Amino acid sequence: MENLVNHKYNSLSGLNVLVTGGTGVIGCWLIKKLVELQLNTTILLWGDNQNPELERTNLLEHTTNIQGSLTDMRLLQSIIQQNQINLVFHLGAQAIVETALVDPFTTFESNIRGTYNLLEACRTNSQNIKGIIVASSDKAYGTHENLPYTENASLNGIYPYEVSKSCTDLLSRSYGLTYSLPVSIARCGNVYGGGDLNWNRIIPGTILELFNERNPLLRSDGTHIRDYIYVKDIVAGYLTLASATISGIEHGQAFNFGNNNPVSVINLVTTIARYMDKEHLQPEITNTAHGEIHSQYLDSSKANHMLQWEPEYSLENGLIQTIEWYTDFLSRSDDESKNN
């Protein structure tokens, strides 16, 4: 079969790839790209989590799929050995801030123990490992007065989800520098795009409410500032970082990936309403959110300078594509429910 790996990703050609967290919003679009690039991809799937984009495109028919948990060290070692894994994208995590507040133990088990299990499995089977990309978050920085965050900012996580991401970063850096594992860390802003059915998140939740002619709900007071980045830009960032890691950049480095265009939550919601022609539906502010940082956004200069990466999608273009995806998905779901 002809190798279709983009020239930007030539160093990935012929590699065996492992993706954890493949059913998440980033994971499904990353897998879509890996399949498109004809890379031999293995996915660690946990529980019965499904993703409508993976189902719609039948992508899992083109990958090796293994059910299991990041807390199962023997399984991770077996996957890496038997599939001769060269490149790992570690996306698997409990990713909901509110869930972490209610159930910190499960969050720490998944995000912290899951990370050191995977890194240790890679360390003890490192003969074939060429690159490990660890998905982190702007939440790893915690709260800082000076914005935007640069990679030199300290990791000041306080609340459970923040701490889990801070620990993920520190563990990854430790394994990279101590054991010369080719680890790189991707700290992303708030990622959005089709395939995310966690309706508690602001973008899919707002689209759902507006689609159903209901006023969107804001759990905060609407003034929180965030950096929202379209999922295809993050996938490009991950692949670019993987290529640079394999090519020999310093181990244990972190890179910020953001849209460099922070907006308030209330402005984001009103923008979505405008693009959906639903401006008659006004946001309802509940102000019930707890354990969330008020303002955070990233400086992506390092990724731009060292990786030649920059976002291709403006907030407007990304939201339009996202709205189209959800409108199609929700319309088909309505049709199916009417026919049943």
Establish whether 141 is a catalytic residue. Answer: no
List residues bridging with 67 in a β-sheet: 45
The token duo for 216 is 């969107």
CA distance 209 to 226: 21
Which positions ≥6 away from 123 have C-beta within 8 Å? Answer: 175, 179, 181
CA distance 138 to 155: 10
CA distance 280 to 219: 20
CA distance 145 to 6: 40
CA distance 314 to 300: 15
* Collapsed DSSP state (helix, strand, coil) of residue 50: coil
Catalytic: which of 9, 141, 159, 161? 161
The sign of the CA dihedral 119, 186, 35, 59 is positive
Tell me the residue ranges of DSSP E strands in the chain: 16-20, 40-45, 64-67, 87-90, 131-137, 183-188, 190-192, 217-218, 225-226, 228-230, 253-257, 263-264, 284-285
Which positions ≥6 away from 273 have C-beta within 8 Å? Answer: 206, 210, 216, 279, 281, 283
Q: Give the residue numbers marked as catalytic.
A: 161
